[in-house]
């Protein structure tokens, strides 16, 4: 097979050279108006083509590689006094897998434990390409089904306006959960 980024022959869908050079993550920070932090590993434009594989037959493999390069490295370095739970935002299975579940699973470590199917949206409107006004008029309406009095990390693939993460954070707060911050692969806001 060929690497989807450099087109050279590779045993993996993204070769080790591209993983180590083109996909070296960095930490980008966005702060919501209430002070809540969203940390991302890439600018959207840096990995746009890879993110667009989400709805293709290679999407799960691409997301697993991106998760290992960024989320796994983060979890290996993360320490906290309490057990922290990672919640993928709306981890419905689409195209045979959940991209947010893949990202959350890469966070599994001695300090972080992923919890699946516990923070789900009742509204499944597609936000891709929509305006902020549309997003605000069509909230996700999250439902939470896990325990109270825990610390949490929210997980999503892309932060655009921040409305989805903010809504998920507010649902956790109303459910007695302390969201520490959110992690995303990419921030759509360019520098």
Higher pLDDT, 135 or 16: 16
Strands of the chain (E only): list them.
28-31, 37-43, 84-88, 112-114, 119-121, 142-144, 151-159, 178-187
Residue 139's pLDDT is 77
Tokens describing residue 189:
């806001």
Per-residue pLDDT at 140 exceeds 90: no
**Mean pLDDT confidence for 139-167:** 93
Question: Nearest-CA neighbor of 182 among 140, 149, 152?
Answer: 152
Model confidence at 141, pLDDT cuts 50, 70, 90, reads: confident
> What whole-number distance in Å separates Cα of residue 34 and Cα of residue 65?
33
Query: Given 2.60.520, 3.30.70, 3.40.50, 2.30.29, which CATH number is that of 27-187?
Result: 3.40.50
Distance of CA 115 to the CA centre of its chain: 14
Write down the pTM of the prediction.
Answer: 0.92
Q: How many other C-beta atoms lie within 10 A of the C-beta of residue 125?
A: 13
HSE on the CB side for 23, CA within 13 Å?
27
The count of C-alpha atoms lying within 13 angstroms of the C-alpha of 107, restricted to the half-sphere facing its C-beta, is: 28
**pLDDT tens for residues 83-110?**
999 999 977 777 678 899 999 999 999 9
Which residue pairs, CB below 8 angstroms and at least 24 apart, start in 30-34? 30/159, 30/162, 30/187, 30/189, 32/162, 32/165, 32/166, 32/169, 34/166
pLDDT average, residue stretch 127-143: 75
Q: Exposed (0-12), middle (13-18) or buried (19+): which is 116, by Cβ within 10 Å?
A: middle
Specify the pLDDT at position 65.
Answer: 97
**pLDDT beyond 70 at 22:** yes
pLDDT at 127 over 70: no
């Amino acid at each position: 097979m060929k690497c989807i980024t450099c087109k050279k022959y590779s045993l993996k869908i993204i070769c080790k050279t591209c993983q180590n050079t083109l996909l070296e993550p960095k930490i980008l920070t966005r702060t919501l108006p209430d002070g809540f932090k969203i940390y991302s590993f890439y600018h959207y434009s840096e990995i746009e083509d890879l993110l667009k594989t989400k709805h293709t037959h290679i999407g799960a493999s691409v997301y697993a590689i991106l998760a290992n390069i960024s989320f796994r490295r983060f979890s290996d370095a993360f320490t906290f006094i309490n057990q922290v739970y990672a919640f993928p935002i709306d981890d419905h299975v689409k195209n045979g897998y959940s991209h947010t579940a893949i990202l959350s699973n890469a966070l599994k470590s001695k300090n972080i434990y992923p919890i699946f199917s516990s923070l789900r949206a009742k509204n499944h409107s597609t936000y891709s390409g929509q305006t902020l006004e549309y997003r605000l008029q069509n909230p996700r309406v999250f439902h939470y089904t896990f325990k109270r009095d825990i610390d949490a990390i929210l997980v999503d693939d892309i932060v655009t306006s921040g409305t989805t993460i903010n809504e998920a954070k507010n649902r956790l707060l109303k459910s007695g959960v302390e969201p520490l911050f959110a992690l995303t692969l990419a921030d759509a806001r360019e520098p």
